[in-house]
Structure 1
């Protein structure tokens, strides 16, 4: 009975997104900039996945997790950027309630899974650098598959719980979201009921996951840095390069999650800038960081290109 009442109270059939700007010239500039970012994200991350699949030398735990990261970044960017690009040419920028819910589900599925993946990658680097002789014993393929399945399962459970929290709330107006995509904090802010408990659950769930994983990652790299003091200079340089790349991605990605989900559902002017960076620019960093800074990836990529050129001839 209570469920039926909530459904009747939800009279909002769609939400109106404010977008990143209302200025036509600024909107057009945003469209071309983010279109370039999106295309580069797709090409770069798909190229990483294809290269890892085709080169047997890269069939190691590190590159298995890297291919997962690239796949997630493609999906994560696709959840929000195409809608934002199409809204550039729309005055109303509407998104239906159902589409909004779907966007929230997949946004949190890929974002949460990536948080767990970055944590697993930090553990993988810890084992590789601090326990190199036991690396393939500890990080065998069975362990990699279990960790991969666990992070996707945890991401799915988290996403279902967040989507359920959002759906259960009644929405009876207004329907304007001060963003360019649907996310839990902005949507629940429009609910016509007391959302304090929901906000507490959001902070305790997403905020806590982001903070705990960030601390685990920082501790892992602190232990790695201490261990590197005892290694020779060449090995130290390569390990530091890998760790620096990973920490760059972690800081930018988790920085957004901590900023957005570790506080009450209140819209701030900085939210749009942080979210734009999070959805469009951060997914592009993987191809740049892991390809241009990684000799193994560059070598495998050149080999793949030569192979394709040879087939064409």
Structure 2
């Protein structure tokens, strides 16, 4: 009785970027083989479908074995099973934790629980992202959240330290962690015109200026504490905002003309920010009660630091 075996022997682990993307996108082996064949890989290497299938299966098996290490990226550099150069390790980690903005927008502000994970079928259908990929990205969100939720110190730096991500990606994860912790309402229809990057920008400003951790206390930087707003000086600050924005945004004339109503609405919103529920409804209130357009909500000038552009 004969038996055929596919054997691969080597030292440095060979990882194909194209196959890695297919694996991350949730393709099965057969679907990945079909996609690679349609991309012309058989003609480029003069290979048979059987060889392509064997190579794809081997790559998928390697990625699945690496995945447990990617859950804790610092372990990837210290393991001996896979001989992967440091620069390749960085690419593997960065791409594994890269996420789709459409998926992040759907999950933003929701509790990262089993119940939310069960709803990923609907999210997958709505966004067109494979369910397997949705689950991987959701698990990444939850993993990062659990790792840094209670840590002291700058949120972005904590994420970079534990997950070895680039500054840009770490900042996006910081926004997800912040929204998951504060549970801001972002799913209402009136807010759907705001993209993930719009809300991520707002999160960065709230983290920098409106959280306990931002002012040097021992509390985690995800803890929102807006009580420090001085309501008596809020209108004066808004005047300074207007001066800083004069001639810089298209809606300035409209905002100046409605200054009285706008300032009254903003003071009313600020007065209620000592209550958790009202904090969660901040973006809804800014749109419904203050009538602020997207261009002003996400403008790169922070209302509390009106003389300097927000970084």
TM-score range, shorter chain: under 0.3
- Normalised by the size of structure 1, how large is the TM-score? 0.24
Max Rg structure: 2
In terms of fraction of residues, the more helix-rich structure is 1
